[in-house]
Chains A and B, each alone.
Chain A
Amino acid sequence: MSCSRRTLLKNTVKGAIVASLPISAFRLLSPAELKAAIGDEKVRWGFVVDTTKCVGCGFCVKACKKENEIPYDAPITRTWVERYVVTRDEKVHADSPMGARDGFTSARIDEETMESGGEHTAEIEPAEIAKAFFVPKLCNQCEKPACVQVCPVGATYQTADGVVLIDRTWCIGCGYCVMACPYGVRFFHPKYKVADKCNFCYHRISKGLKTACVQACPFGARQIGNLRDPDDPVTQTIMNERVSVLKDEYGTKPQVFYLGLDYTVK
């Protein structure tokens, strides 16, 4: 087979054009374009959790599981409530059985404490308790989400109104986002086999409804609002009260603000 330089170049050009035709069917989108496509820029969803109002009934967890079709008996959950019991000898006991789906029905702490060296703690004597409280947790919809940063295919993304969503049709299920989240809010959905997490009930809030957990909370411990609106009660709370966030040392800038957060909360 002989091939002159001219034919080789000619064929190369032809081949390159033919090969690039199917590629032209794809469009390259910048992340900014994508961001603008979803969500309202005038809104930044934020959350306030008043831990002093939470009684650990677990209605929020139950409501969330039902609303978002998270398998009811699977141990994973989009939101959960933690119970903390600090004893007079300054030991911290914490638990969240089934994410507190059924509330805290027993005074017995489900988990072992680190100090007990692996032995189950018995029911703590009420006289021994210095303080005890509940802390509801959910996705922090971080301003700088570590999960979005590490997704190799861009299946998880942040909308213009600040909520981090997951594209179930595009997630490859590598679990890198699960590893990257410092708050442990992500898991694999048993049915769809992709990453899943709380999205502030995006299907509800974008229609003007409250999230399922906010709706279900009988004590108003959970509130959702628009942080770009200075008159929103949630914005008012964040501006006027002393609020804190979870694990700010990771630089993720969480947008779930807590009232009455104790230093012992993990």
Chain B
Amino acid sequence: MVDPLTIAHGAEWTVKHGFVYPNEFIYWGLTIVMYPYMTGLVAGAFVLSSLYHVFGQKDLKDIAKFALVFSLALLPVAMMPLMLHLQQPLRGIEVMFTPHFTSAIAAFGMVFTTYSIIVLSEIWFVYRQYFVEQTRALKGSTDTGDQIKRVIYNVLTLGAYDISEEAVAKDHKAVTILAGIGIPVACFLHGYAGFIFGSVKANALWMSPLMPVIFIMSAVVSGIALCMLTYIIIMEWKKFRAVLRKGLGDESVTVIAGVEMDVMKKTSRYLIGFLIAAITLELLDIIFRGYTSMKSWDILREVMFEEDFTKIFILQYGLGNVLPFILLMLPKMTIRRLFVALCLILFGVFMMRWNVVIGGQAFSLSFSGFMNYDLPIIPHNLETYREGLFGALTVAATPFIIFWLINKIVPSMKEV
């Protein structure tokens, strides 16, 4: 048994070579990769839903409601990796008690809470009519399940039972306003994650004023991609069930397939737009660093073009950006091709987060040494679980479980 006091945090997954200061390790591992990735998905999903609610992009109507509920499911998960990462998770709440406002992290709790309130109230306004209708429909039912459901819906109405045309019109207005406020807040939430990295002056790779903007763009890309992907999976499942029940040639199967393709084609246009913006900004950042060739460029170049070449140029830009871009631009789109492209985009954004967070720690502050990250796969203690593959998988799986639970009460896929 190794004495735990001889293990420095980070030493278990850091491999140093070259001249690295003794205290340097990869302190921010996979959990911190997951953090901007998850907040990005939240922000992206919300922006997608707002495009319909605020700007009246009618073509996004079907996916908007789904995206909104999904962004609620993702919300608690944006906090999860941070809590997993803290050395003192129980003290995390101190950020709310004694926020130290010169720190970029200090306002996180507040921004996050504001955003949560906006998402929750927007959902409430969207579904209020439905809650009231359910409460009335389930009245008098003797089934215990129905009775429990009725109590839940009754509570969710918050006592506002008025569903006259006038009241519902007011609801819609409130949704528009909330979605309108929500867009800058969602962008702020995520641009803010970018600022947390971009403002670290000690880190040559992170420090860039472009960082928040890059983060927002890639956030919207990943959020839209995840919404589309989940939408496809759910529609395919519906189609599959329809085929089982009514046979392959049934009209309902073609209707579902038609709707699915239609929604996807329209949404992918927005996806491509944001993807172009994201890639352009990232390339601008690299070109600028190369052209100005500051002191840190020597080591950055070595990290980008030698140490992490595969991760950055092959996995992130090649597989994650260029290939899906081509797949999306080719004529005669099919769901299968779209599915592949979306998976690749999500992977590409994940690799971007990885290359920022881990890549930023891949070189020493001495500018003459490197650190490699050995992802802990099989956990042998709490530390290697939290910061390892299984911790990240827990984080990645949670939104789908939450979405499944929320969907039991707030159906995001049905017409209401």
Q: Is the CB of B18 within 8 A of A172?
A: no
Q: Is A75 located at the chain interface by the 8 A CB criterion?
A: yes
Q: Is B6 located at the chain interface by the 8 A CB criterion?
A: yes
Q: Could you say which residues of chain B place their CB within 8 Å of the CB of A214?
A: none
Q: Is the CB of B202 within 8 A of A111?
A: no
Q: Is A202 located at the chain interface by the 8 A CB criterion?
A: no
Q: A171-B88, A194-B88 given as contacts; is B5 within 8 A of A92 (CB)? A: no
Per the CB 8 Å criterion, the residue count for chain B at the interface is 54
Contact of A175 among B28, B367, B369 (CB under 8 A): B28
Q: Is A143 located at the chain interface by the 8 A CB criterion?
A: no
Q: Is the CB of B159 within 8 A of A190?
A: no
Q: Is the CB of A152 within 8 A of B106?
A: yes
Q: Is B144 located at the chain interface by the 8 A CB criterion?
A: no
Contact of B368 among A26, A114, A179 (CB under 8 A): A114
Q: Is A211 located at the chain interface by the 8 A CB criterion?
A: no
Q: Could you say which residues of chain A place their CB within 8 Å of the CB of B159?
A: 1
Contact of A188 among B6, B10, B18, B100 (CB under 8 A): B10
Q: Is the CB of B91 within 8 A of A170?
A: yes
Q: Is the CB of B86 within 8 A of A176?
A: no
Q: Is the CB of B22 within 8 A of A150?
A: no
Q: A188-B10, A266-B367 given as contacts; is B95 within 8 A of A153 (CB)? A: yes
Q: Is B97 located at the chain interface by the 8 A CB criterion?
A: yes
Chain B 1-44 per-residue mask, 1 if CB under 8 angstroms from chain A, else 0: 00111111111000001111111110110000000000000000
Q: Could you say which residues of chain B place their CB within 8 Å of the CB of A194?
A: 87-88
Q: Could you say which residues of chain B place their CB within 8 Å of the CB of A99?
A: 22
Q: Is B292 located at the chain interface by the 8 A CB criterion?
A: no
Closest CB-CB distance, A29 to chain B, in whole Å?
9
Q: Could you say which residues of chain A place their CB within 8 Å of the CB of B85?
A: 174-175
Q: Could you say which residues of chain A place their CB within 8 Å of the CB of B196?
A: 176
Q: A172-B88, A266-B367 given as contacts; is B97 within 8 A of A187 (CB)? A: no
Q: Could you say which residues of chain B place their CB within 8 Å of the CB of A77?
A: 22-23
Q: Could you say which residues of chain A place their CB within 8 Å of the CB of B10?
A: 188
Q: Is A178 located at the chain interface by the 8 A CB criterion?
A: yes
Contact of B95 among A71, A73, A152, A179 (CB under 8 A): A152
Q: Is the CB of A175 within 8 A of B87?
A: yes
Q: Could you say which residues of chain B place their CB within 8 Å of the CB of A76?
A: 8, 22-23
Chain A 182-200 per-residue mask, 1 if CB under 8 angstroms from chain B, else 0: 1111111011011000000
Chain A 47-90 per-residue mask, 1 if CB under 8 angstroms from chain B, else 0: 00000000000000000000000010111110010000000000
Chain A 146-157 per-residue mask, 1 if CB under 8 angstroms from chain B, else 0: 101111111100
Q: Could you say which residues of chain A place their CB within 8 Å of the CB of B142?
A: none
Q: Is the CB of A114 within 8 A of B18?
A: yes
Q: A152-B100, A188-B87 given as contacts; is B106 within 8 A of A178 (CB)? A: no
Q: Is A118 located at the chain interface by the 8 A CB criterion?
A: yes
Closest CB-CB distance, A80 to chain B, in whole Å?
5
Q: Could you say which residues of chain B place their CB within 8 Å of the CB of A251?
A: 201
> Given the complex of chains A and B, what is the CA–CA distance between A187 and B364 in angstroms?
14
> Given the complex of chains A and B, what is the CA–CA distance between A114 and B92 in angstroms?
40
Q: Is B366 located at the chain interface by the 8 A CB criterion?
A: yes
Q: Is A223 located at the chain interface by the 8 A CB criterion?
A: no
Q: Is the CB of A184 within 8 A of B23?
A: yes
Q: A112-B18, A149-B102 given as contacts; is B8 within 8 A of A185 (CB)? A: no
Q: A174-B86, A175-B87, A193-B87 given as contacts; is B369 within 8 A of A111 (CB)? A: yes
Q: Is A245 located at the chain interface by the 8 A CB criterion?
A: no
> Given the complex of chains A and B, what is the CA–CA distance between A183 and B106 in angstroms?
23
Q: Is A98 located at the chain interface by the 8 A CB criterion?
A: yes
Q: Is the CB of A153 within 8 A of B99?
A: yes
Q: Is B203 located at the chain interface by the 8 A CB criterion?
A: yes
Q: Could you say which residues of chain A place their CB within 8 Å of the CB of B6?
A: 71, 73-74, 190
> Given the complex of chains A and B, what is the CA–CA distance between A1 and B157 in angstroms?
13
Q: Is the CB of B87 within 8 A of A182?
A: no
> Given the complex of chains A and B, what is the CA–CA distance between A75 and B199 in angstroms?
28
Q: Could you say which residues of chain B place their CB within 8 Å of the CB of A112?
A: 17-18
Q: Is A141 located at the chain interface by the 8 A CB criterion?
A: no
Q: Is the CB of A193 within 8 A of B88?
A: yes
Q: Is the CB of B202 within 8 A of A266?
A: no
| Residue in chain B with minimal CB distance to A150 | B103
Q: Is B401 located at the chain interface by the 8 A CB criterion?
A: no
Q: Is B333 located at the chain interface by the 8 A CB criterion?
A: no
Q: Could you say which residues of chain A place their CB within 8 Å of the CB of B302?
A: 114
Q: Is the CB of B98 within 8 A of A153?
A: yes
Q: Could you say which residues of chain A place their CB within 8 Å of the CB of B28?
A: 175, 179
Q: Is A180 located at the chain interface by the 8 A CB criterion?
A: yes
**7 A–B pairs (Cβ distance < 8 Å), ordered by A:** A75-B22, A92-B368, A114-B302, A172-B86, A173-B87, A175-B87, A184-B365
7 tightest CB-CB pairs across the interface, nearest first? A173-B87, A266-B366, A184-B21, A152-B105, A154-B100, A188-B9, A182-B202
Listed in ascending order, the chain B residues whose CB lies under 8 Å from chain A are 3-11, 17-25, 27-28, 82, 85-88, 91-92, 94-95, 97-100, 102-106, 108, 159, 196, 199-203, 295, 302, 364-369
In the complex, besides A180-B200, A266-B366, 7 extra interface pairs with C-beta distance below 8 angstroms are A74-B7, A77-B22, A182-B201, A188-B8, A188-B10, A190-B9, A249-B295
Listed in ascending order, the chain A residues whose CB lies under 8 Å from chain B are 1, 26, 71, 73-77, 80, 92-96, 98-99, 111-114, 118, 137, 146, 148-155, 170-176, 178-188, 190-191, 193-194, 249-251, 266
